[in-house]
Structure 1
């Protein structure tokens, strides 16, 4: 017992030395996040417009959905004499559906159909998204970006880092004498941005390696999307910053600026620029892109 008493004093001394550490996590006002990547299948009658809005959270936890006061898409073709103006102007008013989801689609309650017909899209069509949120106004402008189909998908037998890697070989043909940009969606939140600087007009094959366990007979869908240079740069940076975070559209990295601008205090809506207010901006991106999909079944 005499030997046990000093041991108890030692244990109590260790316990008494423990301090509760309070960690100060970064605190800032919630920032709006716009997930507005609209993927167009030109074989369908209507453009599948769907804009999802959430807000940043305080360091931990999921991003909560939020609601907009107004949401509107304006689209048309650039005027040859004044490219900042649009000819054949049309609009699509958006409404939240279902209520409380933070997802905005063409308003089904309008007397006039607010859906955008795919047949109205031309390669030079310009889209502008205008939204109001908590007393502030935001805007983004983007061109309709076409792409080329996937020529072939096959499973390879090479590995990159681990013997369990799964190789997929993708083949597509780049359009000649054009500056083309592509974004590939491999599912599971995995993306790749590619430009045609060294493959102009050529058929090109490359390998993509899934570093996760894919089951035999599992079907994987891969898509190719068109992009302009700005969207390509944005996706390229997001992929670099979120390679190990489980997806680029979860919570966009704050250092990656999208094409949405706070235009509350601007006096010219044609100049989507807030250089005088560099710290006032939402996160996310608005783009309208053509997409082709193709599926492959994983072999043993």
Structure 2
């Protein structure tokens, strides 16, 4: 009798609970500006997008800002207009445009709704040339020993000038690599009427060339406060081994850029946010303000940073035979041309050094 009364009481209590609705305010659709211009001949890309709002049916999508008027103005009064090309929200300088070292540049934007924006002036500082590049295998141990992280660490060697304060920004360019496949291991599909999954070796092709160009790129930064005027070896890029990239030869380019003090501070804050791991010692997450201000509404928050830089660029070829660590190679049991984006011909700039 006591148990029955207890069940009735519990049911009565549960039936009286009303769901609590949590009202989450929608976030702002913030204008985001990303891109940089350099002293190399253009075209250079400036991309305009809008951040999404909470609860939107399009949540997670990047919304391009189209049909804007975008221009560059330098400290000599020269104005260069950018045109929207290739994809929506992407604005390009003319093909021959390049910044002049010693001049400062301002990015100006006018949207369809009439709102105007401007960057703060960014000066183009000179950059020392990269003397050479080197690389080595790096294994990062994880809690699962069978899935340690393996990759290639790239180093840049250069001489820092002693007559100025320098702020460095390194990025790696698009990667190209020899894609090795195994068409001799091809088998028929399971739906084949006479011999499902039976061996059916293909004569071609086992060697192709693949390109990768992720929009999400790692970067490195440094200030010469501790090495002013000295020769340096700096780790500037890391490329993870995915089982395909380093089966034969991988090519990338390292861009060494000189940026302003303000751009360096912005990139350092971004780097701190990227490196958050969930530890109690992490920097607290922050909404990082860039160098774009709203002229129509000075209180409007604009994300991103307009960077002006001079560049020293050098290609690097990474050979599998010179790597001491690697992950288990991935097998492609088919013609390598079945992998999207591959070709049989190498890029026009493919020129690995000969031993």
Kindly tell me: are residues 255 and 293 of structure 1, through their superposed partners in 2, closer, same or farther at Cα, counting changes over 3 Å?
farther
Quick one: which of 45, 48, 54 aligns to 1:50? 45
Q: Does 1:286 align with 2:306?
A: yes
Which residue of the partner structure matches residue 206 of structure 1? 234
- Point out the structure with max Rg over C-alpha: 2
The one-character-per-residue Cα deviations of 1:253-291 (angstroms, maximum 9, x if unpaired) are: 8611111111126xxxxxxxxxxx4x4131111112123
Q: Distance in 2 between matches of 1:26 and 1:295?
A: 49
Quick one: which of 137, 156, 165 aligns to 2:150? 165
The one-character-per-residue Cα deviations of 1:228-255 (angstroms, maximum 9, x if unpaired) are: 111111111111112369xxxxxxx861
Q: Which residues of 2 match residues 104-115 of structure 1 at below 5 A?
A: 104-106=91-93
Q: Distance in 2 between matches of 1:243 and 1:288?
A: 25
Quick one: which of 284, 295, 299 aligns to 2:316? 295
Aligned length: 251
SS in structure 2 at match of 1:156 = strand
SS in structure 1 at match of 2:110 = strand
Q: Distance in 2 between matches of 1:244 and 1:293?
A: 31
Which residue of the partner structure matches residue 91 of structure 1? 79
Kindly tell me: are residues 212 and 116 of structure 1, through their superposed partners in 2, closer, same or farther at Cα, counting changes over 3 Å?
closer
Which residue of the partner structure matches residue 34 of structure 2? 35
The offset of 1:20, in angstroms, is 6.4
- TM-score between both structures, scaled by the size of structure 1: 0.70
The offset of 1:214, in angstroms, is 4.2
Kindly tell me: are residues 210 and 71 of structure 1, through their superposed partners in 2, closer, same or farther at Cα, counting changes over 3 Å?
closer
Q: Distance in 1 between matches of 2:20 and 2:61?
A: 24
- TM-score between both structures, scaled by the size of structure 2: 0.60
Which residue of the partner structure matches residue 250 of structure 1? none
The offset of 1:213, in angstroms, is 3.1
Which residue of the partner structure matches residue 191 of structure 1? 219
Kindly tell me: are residues 236 and 155 of structure 1, through their superposed partners in 2, closer, same or farther at Cα, counting changes over 3 Å?
same
Give RMSD over aligned pairs.
3.5
The offset of 1:135, in angstroms, is 2.4
The offset of 1:200, in angstroms, is 1.1
Whether contact under 8 Å (2:34, 2:48) holds in the other structure is: yes
